[in-house]
Chain A
Amino acid sequence: MSQRQDQKVQDRRLEGSGRLRARVIGVVSPNWVHTAMGVKFNERYFMDPEYRQVENRQVADWIGTFNTMLQTRFARYDVDWEPVGISGIAGMYDPDGLEKLTVGLPQPFPVVTAMFGGEIVYFDNDNPDSKGEPLAGISSASEVHIPDFATTFPVSVYLQQYEDLVARFGKDKVDLSFLYLHSPLTIAYRLRGEQLFFDMVDDPELATAILEAAHATSLGVYEMYERIGDRPERLLPIATCIASLISPDVYRKWEIPWLRRQIERHPKALVHSCGPSSHILDLLAELPGIDFMEVGAGTDIARTRVLFPKATINYVVDTPKFRNHTPVQVDAEICQVIRDNEGGPLTIIWPAETGTPIETIEAIYAAVSDYNQHGSEA
């Protein structure tokens, strides 16, 4: 999921054509970086900001070389693009060119789960994850307690680190943030596990209490970070990662009301869904102020465009398929997306896993370039 969503798509309107230029964003996986450079995304990387800064300098050098290679190789394509980043890793780039000392895990998943007593698990070659379901054993709504953000691990540790680093390096050098917000239902499922779906039927009060706790904690920490960091009002990115597993009926009742409350607190929002999401498009269209729809492969892009006529569609290419498909298959997929998008603001996001051939990446740039020069009839 990209943090560079505030692009001024209006500026890119092609003069007289009524359509907009499509753009491309690439992300490589931590596995790619680990394989190429040996950097381990372990506990020390995420819990020791100075160590992370040292590692990130190496990674930034490598990514810089990679971007130069892409720029040279793809120079002939008429595509607006940005330097490739690493998915889920914060602090690699800074718009002002400062070397930032980032604090803490950038994803709410393991952080919020750990705040309720779950375990954070680190991998050398992937983003951290949470293990166990800390609310799996409770039996009534009265047992659900929202933790105190400032005094509960790991946020308590991050806040202390932030203060120390700001005292030593100054506020403009230090970043404390979530890259995005996992949706309440997504987090609630991680807290309670499959039992959550039984609660929805057997004990709706308990299910509601868990949803409320997930919502209040994730949004509360997110907004606390924003306040501490004195961030200007910005886009709220919400990842409803659980959507592809959930029926429209369950989604309507157990995700939409909380999503609405989160989105209504912010002037602009991006909604991300990992997988095929056609079945929830109508429900999301009822929410106000979604400026960006970031959807996975398999989602009906034509329908997305109809329901969100002004929103930017971020189309995320399926990672395993992208790795395994031929350039011809990738070209066909991107051309179809471009056609279905009907000339609205569109960003293609390619997430590359280790082993992804450069030719399949190039196929995306070629297809988007063709569109930017000749339109969807190309």
Chain B
Amino acid sequence: MADLEVLIAAIQDGDRATATRVTAEAIRDEMDPQSILDAMTAAMAEVGRRFQCNEVYVPEMLISARAMKEATALLEPVLIKADIRPEWTAVIGTINGDLHDIGKNLVAMMWRGANIKVVDLGTNVPAERFVEAARDHQASLIGISALLTTTMTGMRDAVAAIRAADLPGMRIMVGGAPVTPEFAAEIGADAYAPDAASAVDVAKGAVAAG
């Protein structure tokens, strides 16, 4: 029987060979797909915790996420067959005029690791693209990132455009180095996350509250 503790350790260490091997074994052994998925999300949650504590940094986090992604790819057909789907969909992007994407990528990675479907619009995203993508993918949450004080003001326009669009119940979350909880509240965002690790709980809380 495949050992899910080994899978967890492999994802945390970014050991994709072991992660995919154990996942394949678990599928072959007909283990409960939800328990395999839970092991993977637990592993990424621990990676997020370590990131928050400065025990790991961006390269280690990316390598863990890659291991998780490759293992998840093996598991996906089994999940579909068992009708286990992502909890909900989030759209994410860096605000118009801003080309920085490290923070946004880390949040997207953590969301995927928490079994949230992520539609990543990339950088320099105008407000209307957030609206279109949220509508097309029936998203529950839009995440907007900014690194620059010069571009974060564009978040206000984006939030206003999303509110003006016909997207009932849509939650909006903002983050990035210059963004503060006060600014998030001032522009009418529903949630603010100070870092990638906390972005999972904040997003889940926002969607649950909506």
> Do these two chains really belong together in a complex?
yes
Q: For B105, what are the chain A residues with a Cβ–Cβ distance below 8 Å?
A: 194
Q: C-beta contact mask, A195-229 vs B, less than 8 Å → 1, else 0?
A: 00110110000000000000000000000000000
A69 at the binding interface (Cβ < 8 Å): no
Chain B proximity mask over A274-312: 1 for CB below 8 Å, otherwise 0: 000001000000000000000000000000000000000
Q: A245-B57, A250-B57 are in contact. Are A320 and B62 (CB under 8 A)?
A: no
* Also in contact, A320 and B63, with CB within 8 A (given A123-B150, A126-B148, A197-B58): no
B58 and A279 form a contact (CB under 8 A): no
Our pick among B60, B99, B178 for the contact of A320 (Cβ within 8 Å) is B178
B97 within 8 A of A: yes
Bound Cα distance A31, B97 (Å): 13
B6 interface hit (Cβ, 8 Å): no
Verify if A87 is at the interface (C-beta below 8 Å from B).
no
Q: How far is the CA of A31 from the CA of B148 in the complex (A)?
A: 10
Beyond A246-B59, A247-B56, whether A319 also contacts B178 by CB under 8 A is yes
Band of interface residues on A: 20 to 34
What residues of chain B lie closer than 8 Å to A279, measured between beta carbons?
Answer: 54
**In the complex, A324 has a CB within 8 A of chain B:** yes
Q: Is A21 an interface residue (CB 8 A)?
A: no
Report if B102 contacts A (CB, 8 A). yes
User: Complex: how many Å from CA A76 to CA B60?
Assistant: 50
- Give the Cβ gap from A319 to chain B, nearest Cβ, in Å: 7
Tell whether A198 pairs with B62 under 8 Å between CB atoms, given A245-B102, A279-B54. Answer: yes
26 contacts between A and B (CB under 8 A): A29-B149, A31-B149, A31-B150, A123-B97, A123-B150, A125-B150, A126-B150, A131-B99, A198-B62, A198-B63, A201-B14, A245-B57, A245-B59, A245-B102, A246-B58, A247-B59, A250-B59, A250-B60, A320-B177, A320-B178, A320-B180, A323-B149, A323-B178, A353-B149, A354-B150, A355-B149
B residues at A contact (CB < 8 Å)? 14, 54, 56-60, 62-63, 66, 97, 99, 102, 105, 148-150, 177-178, 180, 182
Interface residues in chain A, defined as those with a beta carbon under 8 Å from any beta carbon in chain B: 29, 31, 121, 123, 125-126, 129, 131, 194, 197-198, 200-201, 245-247, 250, 279, 319-320, 323-324, 353-355
